[in-house]
Amino acid sequence: MILSQTAEYALRAVLAIAREADGKAVGAARIAEELGIPANYLSKTLHQLARAGILESARGKLGGFRLARAGDRITLLEVVGEFDDIRGKRSCLLGRTTCSDHTPCVAHHRWKAVAEKQAAFFRDTTVADLLRAG
Partner DNA sequence: CCATATTATCATGGGCATATGATATTAGAG
Partner DNA sequence: CTCTAATATCATATGCCCATGATAATATGG
Q: Please state the closest distance from residue 83 (CB atom) to DNA, in A.
A: 7
Residue 12 binds to its own copies (criterion: CB under 8 A):
yes
Which one, of 88, 93, 89, 69, lies nearest residue 79 by Cα?
Answer: 69
C-alpha separations of 19 from 3, 12, 14, 22, 66 in Å? 22, 11, 9, 9, 10
- Rounded CA-CA distance 89/99 in Å is 10
Interface size with its own copies, residues (CB under 8 A)? 32
DSSP string, 71-103: GGG-BHHHHHHTTS--SGGGG-TT--SS-SSSS
C-alpha separations of 27 from 11, 43, 87, 130, 131 in Å? 16, 9, 32, 22, 20
Residue 109 binds to DNA (criterion: CB under 7 A):
no
Per CB under 7 A, which of residues 5..64 are in contact with DNA?
Answer: 5-6, 9, 26-29, 38, 40-41, 43-44, 46-47, 50, 57-64
Question: What is the per-residue binding string for its own copies in 42-81, x denoting contact by CB under 8 A?
Answer: ----------------------------------------
| Residue 107 binding: pick among DNA, its own copies, none (C-beta 5-8 Å cut-off by kind) | its own copies
- Binding interface with its own copies (CB under 8 A): 1-3, 8, 11-12, 15, 85, 89-90, 93-95, 105-111, 113-115, 117-118, 121, 125, 129-131, 133-134
